[in-house]
Homo-oligomer: A and B are copies of this chain.
């Protein structure tokens, strides 16, 4: 009997915010397994801002999703069938399933997830790509030195929450930027940030200045836009700006009105000797072992907290993704596609 899989396919390139009409939710038969493959039942699907780029056909670091193809996405799955001697039915694995209920993947492209170590959904968040992004971005690109001031945008997001907490563990003053009062309170009271300000404030720059009395040595950039503009003038000489995302600009359809602010930005780069460095986590898997050792240890020791925002049902993925683009999620956004047998 051929299993049907439910899929979210991209049928139109979104203009601005992705809309339900840009996608088709359909059922298609699961293909037969070839040699050394696994059939995966998607349990948790990760939704991440980078997916917006894949929906566009602008040249980027990775291939766009082709029209008619399933949307890209990492997931945690249960293995249902295997032609690989590395995996057996019942194993829990992580891989690039895409937005669908079942995926056939090469055994070499999936990695085992240990349900005994932590809830399996964390393989998509604090112990997955967002966690590694925070770890590499802050430690390798940010080069933090004890006593410095770190500002983290999207402070309660999957990446930001880890950046800030790792920053505290490294002896930094940590200031978050988030949307709501509730998120700001969470960053300070639960995650241990020194302060957190709302980017919805009309006085963002002044608010930020008040909580960064010694200026800013590291700005962990994931949003761009007005937040970046508020941070730039507060950067100290020799500040570092690791750039892992620019979510506020992902839905831009035209460049913002002028004037052209590039000369001002570059003047800051020169006179303050800034280092702005973009990075993509796929370049940094050589740090995965260190990451799991350190972050896994911090979680076990209760030194690093995480929060998940779990939405039920693949059919709700598009709406949840819209919420992600607009900052409505609170914690790592994950779709529960099917029952978690380990929960």
Contacts and interface: CB of A to CB of B under 8 A. Distances in A.
Most central of A61, A228, A265, A271 by chain B CB within 10 Å:
A271
A255 B245 contact: no
Nearest to A248: B263
Contact of A262 (B261, B267, B275): B261
A237 interface: yes
Interface residues of A, number: 42
Nearest to A282: B273
A279 B273 contact: yes
Contacts of A279: 273
Contacts of A243: 266, 269-270
A246 B266 contact: yes
Nearest to A50: B270
A246 B280 CA distance: 28
A224 interface: yes
A2 interface: no
B263 A260 contact: no
A34 interface: no
Interface string A237-255: 1000001111001001011
A256 B259 contact: yes
A274 interface: yes
Interface in A270-292: 270-280, 283
Interface of A: 53, 59-61, 224-225, 228, 237, 243-246, 249, 252, 254-280, 283
Q: Lowest 8 CB-CB distances: which A-B pairs, in order?
A: A258-B258, A255-B259, A269-B278, A270-B278, A275-B277, A256-B260, A249-B263, A60-B271
